[in-house]
Chains A and B, each alone.
Chain A
């Protein structure tokens, strides 16, 4: 059976679909978080060099990955909105930004907590850390720029440009540990394999999956509010059961 995906690019159909999907993503995220934390703290052994402190990796790496991926997805939606003038794309970009900013903040925060016992410093002006901080500022800039323009369509276009230009920072973050001599360690997981213990990998990938599911659930919930707000003058919104009740 062929699915007409274009149907779901309209806010009218996407609103209902998002409402049905949110509980599934949210419940799966909660279960995977619990499993991931159990493996990370009970099953996975202590690290030979870092002892217990390495366990910050199970939240630090997933939040760092999410902060970068969410930015690229946000920029992709922003570009779609700019090129094709689709309403839902711009709404999705606006909905992703706060979650991406929070993941960038968690990445920096947990990195600081890991840096203190390992490097003896909360913060160093290292290429990886600095480029991640710039990512947080780009998210905040996107949110602030969008909020500062009253006309939503103009706000979408202006903030889309910022998102697209800012996307150049994502490969800089990823390759910073290769291009420059950094205090931050290189990639632990590569396409060629990893030296991590199996239980450590399982914990990290389970929390990563949980973070993805959480991000999808919260973005869908946020975009539903944005759709309600932007389309409030339309008849389909006034006919919704939650509006009529």
Chain B
């Protein structure tokens, strides 16, 4: 029996929390951060395009 096997049998709740729930919640947090970042970047791009169009219209 390896050290990890002994540790997980002595600390089952820590093993479950860190290994599965901790990882799952971390994945959800990363996904939320990525979606928020993507929205921020997309909004910036759309605003830049609108500003470029406005400037082009003014020059004409």
Q: Which residues of B contact A52 (CB under 8 A)?
A: 12-13, 16
Q: Classify chain B's interface size.
A: 20 to 34
Q: Is the CB of A55 within 8 A of B16?
A: yes
What secondary structure prevails in chain A residues at the interface with B?
Answer: helix
| Contacting residue for A232 out of B13, B15, B19, B45, CB 8 A | B45
Decide yes or no whether A222 CB sits under 8 A from chain B.
yes
A-facing mask of B1-40, CB < 8 A → 1, else 0?
A: 0000100110011011001110110011001100110110
Q: Is the CB of A225 within 8 A of B38?
A: yes
| Contacting residue for B27 out of A102, A228, A232, A238, CB 8 A | A102
Q: Is the CB of B32 within 8 A of A218?
A: yes
Shortest A18–chain B CB gap in Å is 12
Decide yes or no whether A214 CB sits under 8 A from chain B.
yes
Shortest A124–chain B CB gap in Å is 17
A214's closest neighbor in chain B, by CB?
B28
Q: Which residues of A contact B16 (CB under 8 A)?
A: 52-53, 55-56, 113
Additional 13 contacts, C-beta under 8 A, given A51-B12, A228-B46, A238-B50: A52-B13, A53-B16, A55-B13, A56-B16, A59-B20, A109-B23, A116-B8, A218-B31, A222-B35, A222-B38, A229-B46, A232-B46, A243-B47
